[in-house]
């Protein structure tokens, strides 16, 4: 379901709160330079009526973006990015893979992606939301299955006749760590070995013979004189 009209989203929100229906809400700001997606599980996370809509800081004066007679919301790239996040998270939720974002914002001007979980408002205007919250709080909390699934299973082979073992070939050299400045959450796929560990093989010109060795002609001469 996709709608840019707030009253439509409010109606869907009311219906979903009444039915206890999980849904994704998303939107792009009027200036078309920010947007968000939001997973709403009635009672567990904030509904559309729990709080005023969040605005991802654009970092510039919004007045400068508005132009008369131009529908800025038609800017397709921001919508494309937000729609991509929406579909990706819906797939993750439905097919049960990865980590589904509760709230993911997007600021196009600064490439800023705030992520958080919004708790429902106990004094929400929608009474069905408050009712779902009470039901959720009364439920015993399940062990987070996603956390268990996330743990990698250790592969154990009963037999290892040939003594094969996996060796980590990545060398975490001082060189790599000092030259590349990484931001939080980003790691290098592999590290490059320091240049002094590379051995250079020099080719010996084929015509030259080592001093200690005799040439073929010398050997032939020696053979004749015998
Ligand atoms: Zn609510």
- For 88-137, the pLDDT digits (tens) are 999 999 999 999 999 999 988 889 999 999 899 999 999 999 999 999 99
* ipTM of the complex in this document: 0.99
CA of 149 to the centre of ligand 1 (A): 31
CA-CA distance, 72 to 31, in Å (whole number)?
Answer: 6
Question: Of all residues in the chain, what percent carry a pLDDT higher than 70?
Answer: 64
Q: Under CATH, which number does the domain 6-138 receive? A: 3.40.50.720
Q: What is the mean pLDDT of residues 135-156?
A: 69
- For 6-22, the pLDDT digits (tens) are 788 889 999 999 999 99
* Helix 127-138 × helix 6-19 angle, to 10°: 40
User: Tell me, what DSSP letter sits at residue 185?
Assistant: T
Q: Is 16 a catalytic residue?
A: no
Q: Which one of 2, 16, 47, 71 is the catalytic residue?
A: 71
| Higher local confidence (pLDDT), 197 or 61 | 61
At 177 the pLDDT is 47
Residue whose C-alpha is closest to residue 32's, from 68, 78, 87, 92: 78
At 17 the pLDDT is 96
CA of 25 to the centre of ligand 1 (A): 13
- For 165-199, the pLDDT digits (tens) are 777 766 555 544 445 666 666 777 777 666 555 55
CA of 32 to the centre of ligand 1 (A): 26
């Amino acid at each position: 379901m996709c709608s840019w009209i707030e009253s439509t989203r409010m109606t869907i929100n009311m219906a979903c709160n009444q039915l206890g229906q999980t849904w994704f809400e998303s939107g792009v700001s009027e200036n078309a330079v920010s947007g968000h997606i939001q997973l709403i599980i009635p009672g567990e996370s904030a509904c559309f009526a729990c709080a005023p809509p969040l605005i991802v800081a654009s970092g510039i004066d919004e007045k400068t973006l508005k132009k008369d007679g131009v529908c800025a919301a038609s800017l397709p790239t921001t919508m494309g990015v937000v729609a991509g996040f929406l579909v990706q998270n819906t797939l993750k939720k439905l097919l049960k893979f990865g980590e589904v974002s509760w709230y993911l914002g997007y600021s196009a001007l600064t490439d800023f992606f705030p992520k958080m979980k919004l708790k429902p408002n106990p004094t929400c205007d929608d009474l069905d939301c408050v009712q779902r919250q009470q039901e959720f709080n009364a439920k015993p909390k399940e062990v987070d299955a996603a956390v268990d699934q996330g743990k990698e299973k250790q592969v154990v082979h009963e037999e290892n006749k040939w003594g094969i073992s996996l060796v980590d070939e990545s060398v975490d050299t001082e060189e790599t760590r000092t030259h590349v400045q990484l931001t939080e959450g980003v790691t290098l796929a592999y590290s490059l070995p320091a240049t002094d560990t590379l051995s250079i093989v020099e080719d010996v010109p084929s015509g030259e013979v080592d001093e200690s060795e005799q040439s073929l002609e010398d050997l032939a001469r020696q053979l004749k004189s015998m």
